[in-house]
Structure 1
Amino acid sequence: MKWLRRPSWFALLLTAVGALLFMRLGVWQLHRADEKEQILRRYAAAETALPSDFAAVAAMPPVDAFARVKVQGAYVVDRVYLLDNPRHDQRGGVEVYVPFRPQGASQLLMVDLGFLPGNGTDQAPQIPPLPEGTQALQGLYLPPPGVGFQMGGNALAQQSRWPKTTIYLDLPQLAADLGSPLYPRVLALDEDPAAVYVREHTIDFSAMPPARHRAYAFQWFTFAAVAVVILLVSHRRPRNKSDHP
Structure 2
Amino acid sequence: MMGLRRPSWFAVLLTLVGVMFFVRLGIWQLHRAAEKEVLLRRFATAASAPIQDFSTVQRGALPERYPHLQVRGHFVPGRSYMLDDQNHGHRPGVQVYAPFRPDGYARLVLVDLGFLPREGPDLKLPQLPPIKPGETTLRGIYVPPPAAGLKLGGDALKKQQTWPKLTTYIDLNQIATDLDAKLYPRALLLDPDPAAAYVREWTPGFMPPARHYGYAFQWFAFAVAALAIFVILHRKKDETGDDDE
TM-score, normalised by the number of residues in structure 2: 0.84
| Equivalence for 1:76 | 76
| Equivalence for 2:149 | 148
CA RMSD across the alignment: 2.7
| Equivalence for 1:52 | 52
Q: Deviations over 1:214-245 (max 9, x none)?
A: 233223223323433444453456057xxxxx
Secondary structure of the equivalent of 1:85?
strand
Structure 1 or 2: more strand by fraction: 2
In structure 1, what residue type is equivalent to 2:8? S
- After TM superposition, give the deviation of residue 198 of structure 1 in Å: 0.3
Identity %: 52
Counterpart CA distance in 1 for 2:9 and 2:63 is: 48
In structure 2, what residue type is equivalent to 1:178? L
Secondary structure of the equivalent of 2:91?
coil
Query: Aligned pair in 2 of structure 1 residues 220, 136: CA closer, same or farther (>3 Å)?
Result: same
Query: Gaps spanning 5+ residues in structure 2: where?
Result: 241-245
Query: Aligned pair in 2 of structure 1 residues 231, 89: CA closer, same or farther (>3 Å)?
Result: same
User: Which one is further off, 83-92 or 23-32?
Assistant: 83-92
Count of aligned positions: 237
| Equivalence for 2:100 | 100
- After TM superposition, give the deviation of residue 15 of structure 1 in Å: 2.4
Query: Gaps spanning 5+ residues in structure 1: where?
Result: 241-245
- After TM superposition, give the deviation of residue 54 of structure 1 in Å: 0.6
| Equivalence for 2:159 | 158
TM-score, normalised by the number of residues in structure 1: 0.84
Secondary structure of the equivalent of 2:199?
coil
- After TM superposition, give the deviation of residue 72 of structure 1 in Å: 0.8
Q: Is the 8 A contact 1:36 1:210 kept in 2?
A: yes
Q: How does 1:103-114 map to 2 (within 5 A)?
A: 103-114=103-114
Secondary structure of the equivalent of 1:92?
strand
Q: Kindly indicate whether residue 214 of structure 2 is the aligned counterpart of residue 215 of structure 1.
A: yes
| Equivalence for 1:65 | 65
Counterpart CA distance in 2 for 1:219 and 1:159 is: 43
- After TM superposition, give the deviation of residue 123 of structure 1 in Å: 2.7
Counterpart CA distance in 1 for 2:170 and 2:224 is: 44
In structure 2, what residue type is equivalent to 1:141? Y
Counterpart CA distance in 2 for 1:85 and 1:4 is: 55
- After TM superposition, give the deviation of residue 90 of structure 1 in Å: 5.1
